[in-house]
Amino acid sequence: MTNAAYIPEALADVPRASWPRHIAIIMDGNGRWARSRGLPRIEGHRRGAESVRCVTEECAKLGLKQLTLFAFSSENWRRPRDEVNALMDLYRKFLIEQRPTILKNHVRFVPIGRRDDIPAEVLAEADRTVELSAKATGLTLCLAVNYGSRGEIADAARSLATRAARGELDPATIDEETFASALNTAGMPDPDLLIRTAGEMRLSNFLLWQLSYAELWVTPRLWPEFRQPDLHAAMRDFAGRERRFGGLEPATNA
């Protein structure tokens, strides 16, 4: 449900046609936020979950099409077992506690990433949220959990190769659209804007295919401190850029 009447003061002079439709965020800095305050790392993750709630609600109010958040990478399993267990439990609790808010704001929840190794009780809550929000017509909240873009691309190639070997697909017909349809994000628009917090200047194996033409915006703000004004600042900056997609004339977001 697009809230066409809601325009925050920070974006009052920015035409809606210049807003990004799909924002992706690499949420970085939870551990650093906690360490700087002498707190356990999990406290940073808990505070980061509050940022997820605030940003999701704001994107829904703004009427954006999609918000994709990098929550847990396939490489994060290498972290200490206690931290991984705490993160999985935090994800489960987030799904339960925020489900009423997700439904109230007409948000459609879609997780991406491999289901392997994710605890069954976490998958059950994720599947429940997917089911209950499936018909929502507002913002799509895509949460990348146990996700790695190289693995996603390899999985897509394997899937297409298997179909070709079975005679279900002519290899000569495989183009970019066909390949994109085999990715976790099939049917989703590519992100217009990628935000990365904590000042890091890398993609970290996130949406490598989908971010091909995204605008990048990096802030030194740690993710637990990221709030609506930071989101608005990123959107303002995005609106002032010229997106050419390899052409000579700026492209519009309409």
**How would you label 168-178 residue by residue, b for 16+ Cβ within 10 Å and e otherwise?**
ebeeeebeeee
Please check whether residue 12 lies inside any domain of the structure.
no
Please check whether residue 66 lies inside any domain of the structure.
no
Please check whether residue 54 lies inside any domain of the structure.
yes
Q: How far apart are CA 22 and CA 195, in angstroms?
A: 11
Residue 195, beta-bridge partner list: 25, 217
Percentage of the chain lying above the pLDDT 90 cut: 93
Tens of pLDDT, residues 170-228: 999 999 999 999 999 999 999 999 999 999 999 999 999 999 999 999 999 999 999 99
pLDDT at 146: 98
Please check whether residue 212 lies inside any domain of the structure.
yes
Please check whether residue 214 lies inside any domain of the structure.
yes
Cα end-to-end span (Å), the chain: 18
Q: How far apart are CA 168 and CA 176, in angstroms?
A: 18
Please check whether residue 30 lies inside any domain of the structure.
yes
Amino acid at 194: L
| Domain CATH number, residue 48 | 3.40.1180.10
In Å, the largest CA–CA distance within the chain is 59
Please check whether residue 166 lies inside any domain of the structure.
no
Percentage of the chain lying above the pLDDT 70 cut: 94
Please check whether residue 220 lies inside any domain of the structure.
yes
Instruction: Give me the active site residues, please.
Output: 28, 76
Looking at per-residue confidence, does 51 or 252 come out higher? 51
Do residues 204 and 73 lie in contact, with contact meaning Cβ atoms separated by under 8 Å?
yes
Total domains in the chain come to 1
**How would you label 183-196 residue by residue, b for 16+ Cβ within 10 Å and e otherwise?**
bbbeebebbbbbbb
139 is in which domain, residue-wise? 17-61+80-103+118-147+184-189+201-239
